């Protein structure tokens, strides 16, 4: 509900005189800005003392906050078949935007070898989005081209971006042909229904240009990006894959699949040609490798180093691992952090992990099933709001041991930043820490703690965190 400025002042004044009063479980107000009219919204529904953040304003539009954006991976492996998925996602876009999610990552959208059952990672025809009868179906597993463009348009109406999953390493679903380079028959003859980007043996490895590149996947024909014809159809032509996806279909960015399979120059050339956000799936925990690839490709990269360190920290009961090197610490503006995805889901302590990535640097990605099915959506919405509105500035680790981790985001351009306290033990923990705020009243924006402490003149203050939980502290508005 929207409240008047006088009531907002009264609510604020009511808590100004409170100091350290111990652990509280009574209802507590959490203030969040409404994206439609910029007035304050107060949400007082609680669960175990933690406020739920909701937004029922159907006219709201996503607006980026000072902390940056949050991405939603809008699918999981083996989503329901039958051509319903694009409409399912479309039905959630407004709620996601209201929650503060600014971009959707969709699965590979074009026709693949497995037809109505394919998740898209075995691409046949890059220009068939569900409007040609090939590979045993007209629609893709996810729906029709009309339904896809309707979803993209709806996301744009909500001021959200849409990222296409692009599979450039390999193709599948071709016909047999006699291959002069191998002396055998190979599945490399692609006469596709769209008539665009037909391929033959000359466009795959080995060929007249080179025998191989960085890697092959699953025995599929390995596309040769060094062939001028392939480059033209992928990113150079005005009606090629990249520009068709952007200018005709309306995609705003790219998630590149299995980038270990080809050189980073491919992504760089694509980005130079068509622009838009991009992130590569370089499945490797080596931070040097991740950072090298991101710089060479001029692209963001998924932070697998962070992913595995979080697993060691939270599931392995050793938060010291959070002090180790990660991609977001090296190059935060080229980093996408995540807790799980359609390929890997090994972290059990997910809420602590989301508390980590949504309060730290990098571009956090939320997994569909975590948000819609498995975790507490209200707590995730709370963290999304915290990320968008308070997670600013660089990061200083204030304390770390096996059970406790405290870090400070130092704020930027007038935004105060935050202090996050993650507690992986079985009991409440308290610590004195130094903030950037002198003689300032702060509160826990998750609602887990009822403390409203005031920092000392030297910026020190005592904060707390619940067992197997977290708190996020910042000045009271």
Instruction: List domains and CATH numbers for the chain.
Output: 63-475 (3.20.20.80)
Q: Which of 339, 278, 271, 264 is nearest to 303 (CA)?
A: 339
Q: In the predicted model, is pLDDT for residue 287 greater than 50?
A: yes
Banded pLDDT at 61 (limits 50, 70, 90) = confident
In a 10 Å sphere around its CB, with 0-12 CB exposed, 13-18 middle and 19+ buried, how is residue 419 labelled?
Answer: buried
Q: In the predicted model, is pLDDT for residue 1 greater than 50?
A: no
Contact between 363 and 71 (Cβ < 8 Å): yes
- What pLDDT is recorded for position 199? 98
- What pLDDT is recorded for position 60? 61
What integer is the mean pLDDT of 5-25?
33
In this structure, the number of other CB atoms found within 10 A of the CB of residue 219 comes to: 9
- What pLDDT is recorded for position 250? 98
Banded pLDDT at 209 (limits 50, 70, 90) = very high
Q: In the predicted model, is pLDDT for residue 401 greater than 80?
A: yes
What integer is the mean pLDDT of 255-270?
98
- How far apart (Å, rounded) are the C-alpha atoms in residues 398 and 396? 6
- Quick: pLDDT tens for 307-337: 999 999 999 999 999 999 999 999 999 999 9
- What pLDDT is recorded for position 230? 98
- How far apart (Å, rounded) are the C-alpha atoms in residues 313 and 227? 45
Banded pLDDT at 477 (limits 50, 70, 90) = confident
- What pLDDT is recorded for position 63? 87
- What pLDDT is recorded for position 27? 29
pTM: 0.88
In this structure, the number of other CB atoms found within 10 A of the CB of residue 203 comes to: 21
What integer is the mean pLDDT of 239-260?
98
Banded pLDDT at 35 (limits 50, 70, 90) = very low
- What pLDDT is recorded for position 42? 28
In a 10 Å sphere around its CB, with 0-12 CB exposed, 13-18 middle and 19+ buried, how is residue 346 labelled?
Answer: exposed
- How far apart (Å, rounded) are the C-alpha atoms in residues 149 and 50? 39
Query: At a CB cut-off of 8 Å and minimum separation 6, what does 287 contact?
Result: 305, 325, 326, 327, 330
Average pLDDT, the chain: 89
- What pLDDT is recorded for position 59? 52
What integer is the mean pLDDT of 410-433?
98
Q: In the predicted model, is pLDDT for residue 239 greater than 50?
A: yes
> What token pair was written down for 166?
């692009």
């Amino acid at each position: 509900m929207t409240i008047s400025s006088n009531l907002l002042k009264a609510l604020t004044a009511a808590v100004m005189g409170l100091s350290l009063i111990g652990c509280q479980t009574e209802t507590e107000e959490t203030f969040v800005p409404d994206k439609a009219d910029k007035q304050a919204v107060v949400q007082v529904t609680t669960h175990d003392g933690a406020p739920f953040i909701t937004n029922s304003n159907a006219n709201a539009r996503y607006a980026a906050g000072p902390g940056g954006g949050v991405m939603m991976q809008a699918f999981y492996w083996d989503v329901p078949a039958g051509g319903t998925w694009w409409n399912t996602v479309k039905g959630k876009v407004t709620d996601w935007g209201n929650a503060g999610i600014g971009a959707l990552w969709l699965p590979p959208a074009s026709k693949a070898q497995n037809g109505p059952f394919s998740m898209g990672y075995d691409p046949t025809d890059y220009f068939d989005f569900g409007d040609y009868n090939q590979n045993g179906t007209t629609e893709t597993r996810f729906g029709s081209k009309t339904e896809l463009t309707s979803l993209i348009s709806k996301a744009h109406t909500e001021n959200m971006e849409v990222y296409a999953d692009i599979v450039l390493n390999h193709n599948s679903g071709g016909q047999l042909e006699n291959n002069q380079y191998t002396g055998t028959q190979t599945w490399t003859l692609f006469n596709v229904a769209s008539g665009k980007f037909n391929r033959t043996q000359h466009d795959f490895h080995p060929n007249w240009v080179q025998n191989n590149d960085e890697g092959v996947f699953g025995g599929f024909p390995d596309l040769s990006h060094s062939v001028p014809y392939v480059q033209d159809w992928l990113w150079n032509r005005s009606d090629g894959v990249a520009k068709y996806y952007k200018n005709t279909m309306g995609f705003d960015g790219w998630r590149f699949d299995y980038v270990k399979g080809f050189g980073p120059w491919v992504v760089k050339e694509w980005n130079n040609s068509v622009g838009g956000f991009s992130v590569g799936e370089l499945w490797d925990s080596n931070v040097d490798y991740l950072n090298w690839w991101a710089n060479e490709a001029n692209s963001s990269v998924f932070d697998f180093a962070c992913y595995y360190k979080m697993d060691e920290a939270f599931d392995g009961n050793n938060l010291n691992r959070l002090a180790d090197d990660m991609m977001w610490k090296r190059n935060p503006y080229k980093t996408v952090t995540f807790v799980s995805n359609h390929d890997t889901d090994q972290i059990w302590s997910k809420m602590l992990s989301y508390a980590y990535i949504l309060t730290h640097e990098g571009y956090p990605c939320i997994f569909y099933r975590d948000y819609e099915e498995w975790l507490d959506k209200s707590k995730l919405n709370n963290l999304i709001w915290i990320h968008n509105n308070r997670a600013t500035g660089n990061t200083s680790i204030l304390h770390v041991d096996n059970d406790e981790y405290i870090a400070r985001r130092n704020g930027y351009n007038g935004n105060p930043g935050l202090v996050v306290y993650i507690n992986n033990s079985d009991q409440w923990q308290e610590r004195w820490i130094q903030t950037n705020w002198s003689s300032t009243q702060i509160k826990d924006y998750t609602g887990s703690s009822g403390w409203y402490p005031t920092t000392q003149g030297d910026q020190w203050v005592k904060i707390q965190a619940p067992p197997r939980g977290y708190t996020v502290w910042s000045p009271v508005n």
